[in-house]
A and B are shown apart, each in its own frame.
Chain A
Amino acid sequence: MAMPYYVSPEQVMKDKADFARKGIARGKSVAALTYADGILFVAENPSATLHKISEIYDRIAFAAVGKYNEFEQLRVAGIRLADVKGYQYAREDVTGRALANAYATALGAAFTESSKPFEVELLVAEISADSVELYHITYDGTIMDREGHVAIGGSSDAITAALDSRFDASLPRDEALRVARDALSTAEERPIDADRLEVAGLDRTRGRRKFFRMSGTEIAAALG
């Protein structure tokens, strides 16, 4: 009779974490930083249509790295949750914290229960009149409350280090974009052209829907 090999739970979790981390490291990173009017997400993304950054609700945005099909599923699930909740209660009852918790729960459950964890890392941001909430959720469902700036993806440590020196929460949008672009180039050790950047964010001076996405020409103009 064949006996199944015993594998310790520690080893199972470690293997899954290594697997997820490797998958995430293969993709491009996203940097998020607060600026004078809200929060800006900047990512190197050769595709102009397969977005890493997207709108979830009036004041809530989402950014992700890793496997596209997996975070796309999470993105749509988030939009559904937010829209149904906003319809059932009121628009201001939809919060970034609740959404981030839902993502953390879903990712945590998938990490422990399924044999293949999600190879994604997420950011959920919500802006209000005077503050920005920024949540960082990793592949295993760990949720962290971030302040100021954060980077996710393979080169996140290098980007964070580069951002640390130049980050200032009171910068205007275009200048914050230049800082983020420079941090991405430093981390990748090569220049990054404007047409390879995806830039979007939340701007509290806008109307009900705070989300904006910069077009290729706007990005090029801002980078000068």
Chain B
Amino acid sequence: MKLSGTDPFDLAGPSFFALLQREAPEQAARVLTSAQSSGMVDHVDGTTVIALTYGAGGDQGVIMAGDRRATSGNIISKRDMRKVFEADSWSAVGISGAAGPAMELAKIFATELEHYEKVEGNPLSLEGKANKLAQMVRANLPLAMQGLVVVPLFAGYDPREGVARIYEFDAAGGRYEERRFATTGSGGRDARGSLKARFREDLVREGAIDVAIEALWDAADEDSATGGPDLVREIYPLVAVIDSGGYRELADDVVAERVRGVIDRRRQ
């Protein structure tokens, strides 16, 4: 433990990611800096995650939902994968792309936010969180060049201003704020089309959850790497809601109920 000699004006001060790179580089290097080997390794890909806001007028919030399939080439490698993670009590991060680095990114990011909050005594602003995530995606660029692309989706609620926001990223670390909805992953394009058709400014929470499930369904319909609801194994999309009450995930039986509603409507 280093005590004396720490620079009080060290710009990396409250950053856990910077601390990890400095104090335990072999840990950070594992996924988030340049890989030494050349060529692509076999790996597991996670697929579609979507986010949409609701309640533009009054009680705002944001939904983030992800399918549960992970693929390795043309093989389904996992049927119950988690792609939506709680970043802190006011935000969520969804991951797509190479599952290993992506899950590591989500874990470091969550630690980063908590570390900042503890050291500084205040949580980061929503925009500060999104910027930090963009920097971490950018740090992954060397790996992305070798095929291990990680593209997260970030959504959160700003309790200070009472607004919900979504941020999209690209593999190069670009950060784009999205006011209505955003998608990432292989089924993202199809989900985006579905969201475009169904999104309305006056959606309330329950309606927005249905729109999210429909979008994932449409993505699974068109994209082989996106899994639809698995009624036999009872595996349903993971749906998280973030609003003035903070981050929470819907229970499986609640999502199952919604999924059955969507199925009934599609049958008619």
List the one stretch of A25-33, A84-92, A143-151, A168-176 in contact with chain B: A84-92
Q: Does B16 reach chain A (CB closer than 8 Å)?
A: yes
Minimal Cβ-Cβ distance residue in B for A50: B121
| Chain A interface bracket (under 10, 10 to 19, 20 to 34, 35 or more) | 20 to 34
Q: Does A67 reach chain B (CB closer than 8 Å)?
A: no
Contact B108 A87 (CB under 8 A): yes
Q: Which residues of B contact A84 (CB under 8 A)?
A: 16, 19-20, 23-24, 27
Q: Which residues of B contact A105 (CB under 8 A)?
A: 1
Q: Which residues of A contact B119 (CB under 8 A)?
A: 76, 79
Residues of A87-125 contacting chain B, CB below 8 A: 87-88, 102, 105-106, 110
Other-chain contact of B24, A51, A73, A88 (Cβ < 8 Å): A88
How long is the Cα–Cα vector from A87 to B109 in the complex, in angstroms? 11
CB distance from A201 to the nearest CB of B (A): 15
Minimal Cβ-Cβ distance residue in A for B24: A84
Residues of B107-122 contacting chain A, CB below 8 A: 107-108, 111, 114-115, 118-119, 121
Contact A87 B27 (CB under 8 A): yes
Contact A79 B118 (CB under 8 A): yes
Residues of B1-42 contacting chain A, CB below 8 A: 1-4, 6, 16, 19-20, 23-24, 27
Contact with B along A68-87 (1 / 0, CB 8 A): 00000110110111011011
Question: With A84-B23, A88-B24 given, is the CB distance from A110 to B3 under 8 Å?
Answer: yes
Q: Which residues of B contact A81 (CB under 8 A)?
A: 1
Contact B111 A83 (CB under 8 A): yes
Contact B3 A79 (CB under 8 A): no
**A-B CB proximity, top 8 nearest:** A83-B115, A79-B118, A77-B1, A102-B1, A55-B118, A87-B111, A106-B3, A76-B119
* 13 interchain pairs, CB-CB under 8 A: A49-B121, A74-B3, A77-B2, A79-B119, A81-B1, A83-B118, A84-B20, A84-B23, A87-B16, A87-B27, A87-B107, A87-B111, A106-B1
Q: A76-B119, A87-B108 are in contact. List 4 more A-B contacts (CB 8 A).
A: A83-B19, A84-B24, A102-B1, A110-B4
